[in-house]
Amino acid sequence: MTDKLFRLECGFQNYDWGKLGQESAVAQFISNSNPEIEISSTTPYAELWMGTHPTKPSFNYNTSNKLIDIISSDPERYLGSHIAKSFNNDLPFLFKVLSIEKVLSIQAHPDKNLAKLLNQNDPKNYPDNNHKPEMAIALTKFEGFCGFKPLTEIHYYISNIPELLNLIGGSESLNYFNQNIQFNSNSPINKKILKLLFSNLMNSNQNDISLNSTNLIKRVQSNPEIFQKFDPDLPILIKTLNKQFPNDIGLFCGCLLLNYCKLNPGEAIFLKAKDPHAYISGNILECMASSDNVIRAGFTPKFKDVNVLVNNLTYNYDSVENQKLKPILNNNNRLILNSNENENENENNSLKLYNPPIEEFEVLEINLSHPNHSLNFKKFNGPSILITTEGSGFIKNLESNQQFTCNAGYIYFISANLEIQLISNSSNFTSYRAFCE
Ligand SMILES: NNC(=O)[C@@H](O)[C@H](O)[C@H](O)COP(=O)(O)O
Ligand SMILES: [Zn+2]
């Protein structure tokens, strides 16, 4: 029988938008964890997958047994009875590292009902029947599009950028917007108006998109100030993304209709199912319900399902600040047993709990600031996956007293109902523990 704490060997995706070679945090982590893996300097290393999802399943590092097979051998032992019953004897979440060089697709993820339908009708493009709410935690500076801009900002862009107006239906659409929008309200009419404008835009023909993209870039070059009313960096972003995906509809639906969100390390965003988004740059940890269902509509060479996206978005609109997920700081009592260190050391360690409003996952960032600090964790009523991203230390099974090394890129599965200890042997020993209980 496999121990309740064991190291994982995880798979990775070479999507085109990933950072190249050793520039990629994904490449650094996989080659740190397994030096036999050759890293090619011309290959993008986009995503590291930690979990049981069949698209890229994880394995026991020492025995090469599949994680899902270990769990299936005794779901209560590895998941705990509550999680085993609630999630059909499988791991509820998929935990990833993303290292982003180029913009990802303009996308949204289905809720459970839509996922079932899409998986039934088109299993090739929608490989499972699960929803995919997701959270991104910035490891470096990160940029991304998330959710529709506030209505006042959308009104400004459709009123001042003719190329956008041309693609959303011209002056007729602008009049409809002006006569019906209810600013500072959550009225359903606002979502109806947003959906009409977005549908017109996303169903534009490529000739119109190319013509208006060319003119948009000219306008950005000649009158950048028009684009800088809400963010001084928008002109540079539009030019950068046009270089990555020339004359793409994403220049309009992403840059001019979605929030341009910038995160500093440690900040996070949570995307509910059906929220439009597209990540632009940076290294992040991403945690999601265990699914690979992505509905795409721009900035991508992959399969686009424009009508499914247009007909299924939430059409929520809000400020960037309100899209961010604030972590709970140093809330020790729920998760920590005790810490073998004196008071002043305690002040330097930090715990940040990212707990989005869904049941599948939470993520705890654990930072032990100096060598020879340690933290003892209570038994969690469910499974965890822990990855070390910085520094080095050890993880100890407090039942068997077995201890294992943690270096950047090392990943461990921690079964339910197991007390573990983390011990640092460097400064800034940082790990992230995704869990469900
Ligand atoms: N927002 N992030 C995600 O949903 C990731 O988990 C997905 O795996 C990526 O979006 C996949 O991106 P492409 O389909 O290659 O554009
Ligand atoms: Zn996504």
CATH number reported for the structural domain that contains residue 201 in this entry: 1.10.441.10
What is the distance between the alpha carbons of residues 292 and 397, in angstroms, rounded to a whole number? 32
Q: Could you identify the atom of ligand 1 that is nearest to the CA of residue 96?
A: 6
Q: How far is the CA of 277 from the centre of ligand 1 (A)?
A: 10
- Ligand 1 atom closest to 105 (CA): 16
Is residue 294 in a domain?
no
How many independent structural domains does the chain possess? 3
7 is catalytic: no
Q: Which of 310, 281, 25 is nearest to 136 (CA)?
A: 281
Residue 219 lies in a domain: yes
Same structural domain, 309 and 164: yes
Distances (CA, A) of 44 to 34, 214, 280, 285: 18, 29, 15, 17
Q: What are the C-alpha distances in Å from 215 to residues 163, 208, 220, 267?
A: 7, 11, 9, 36
DSSP state of 174: H
Range of the domain at 251: 150-258+299-325
Catalytic residue chosen out of the listed positions 7, 77, 219, 296: 296
The three state secondary structure string of 71-110 is HHHCHHHHHCHHHHHHCCCCCCEEEEEEEECCCCCEEECC
Q: Is residue 279 part of a domain?
A: no
Residue 366 domain flag: yes
CA atoms within 13 A on the CB side of 123: 3
**Helix, strand or coil, per DSSP, at residue 227:** helix
DSSP assigned state of 19 = E
Residue 279 to residue 199: CA distance in whole angstroms: 22
**Could you tell me if 205 and 308 lie in one domain?**
yes
Q: Whose CA is nearest to atom 12 of ligand 1?
A: 104
Residue 434: φ, ψ to 5°: -85, 135
pLDDT at 14: 98
User: How large is the ipTM?
Assistant: 0.98
* Residue 311 located in a structural domain: yes
Same domain, 304 and 193: yes
Maximum C-alpha span of the chain = 71
Do 109 and 163 belong to one domain?
Answer: no
Residue 381 tokens, joined: 């009523």
| Identity of the amino acid at 325 | L
Does residue 321 share a domain with residue 194? yes
265 inside domain: no
For residue 66, what is the DSSP state?
A: B
From first to last of its 437 residues, the chain has per-residue pLDDT tens of 889 999 999 999 999 999 999 999 999 999 999 999 999 999 999 999 999 999 999 999 999 999 999 999 999 999 999 999 999 999 999 999 999 999 999 999 999 999 999 999 999 999 999 999 999 999 999 999 999 999 999 999 999 999 999 999 999 999 999 999 999 999 999 999 999 999 999 999 999 999 999 999 999 999 999 999 999 999 999 999 999 999 999 999 999 999 999 999 999 999 999 999 999 999 999 999 999 999 999 999 999 999 999 999 999 999 989 889 999 988 767 788 765 544 445 567 899 999 999 999 999 999 999 999 999 999 999 999 999 999 999 999 999 999 999 999 999 999 999 999 999 999 999 999 999 99
Do 429 and 364 share a structural domain?
yes
Tell me the pTM: 0.97
Per the CB < 8 A criterion, the answer to whether 379 and 435 are in contact is: no
Residue 258, strand partner residues: 148
Residues 137 and 160 in one domain: no
115 falls within a domain: yes
For residue 340, the model assigns a pLDDT of 53
Radius of gyration of the chain (CA): 23
> Residue 424, class by beta-carbon neighbours within 10 Å (0-12 exposed, 13-18 middle, 19+ buried)?
buried
- Final residue belonging to a domain, choices 114, 144, 174: 144
Minimal-distance CA residue to ligand 1 atom 4: 294
* Same-domain pairing of 82 and 175: no
DSSP 21: G
Where a domain ends, among 144, 174, 207? 144
Of 144, 169, 198, the residue at which a domain comes to its end is 144
Instruction: Indicate which CATH number applies to the domain containing 390.
Output: 2.60.120.10
Polymer length in residues for the chain:
437
306 and 364 inside one domain: no
In-domain check, residue 286? no
Q: How far is the CA of 294 from the centre of ligand 1 (A)?
A: 7
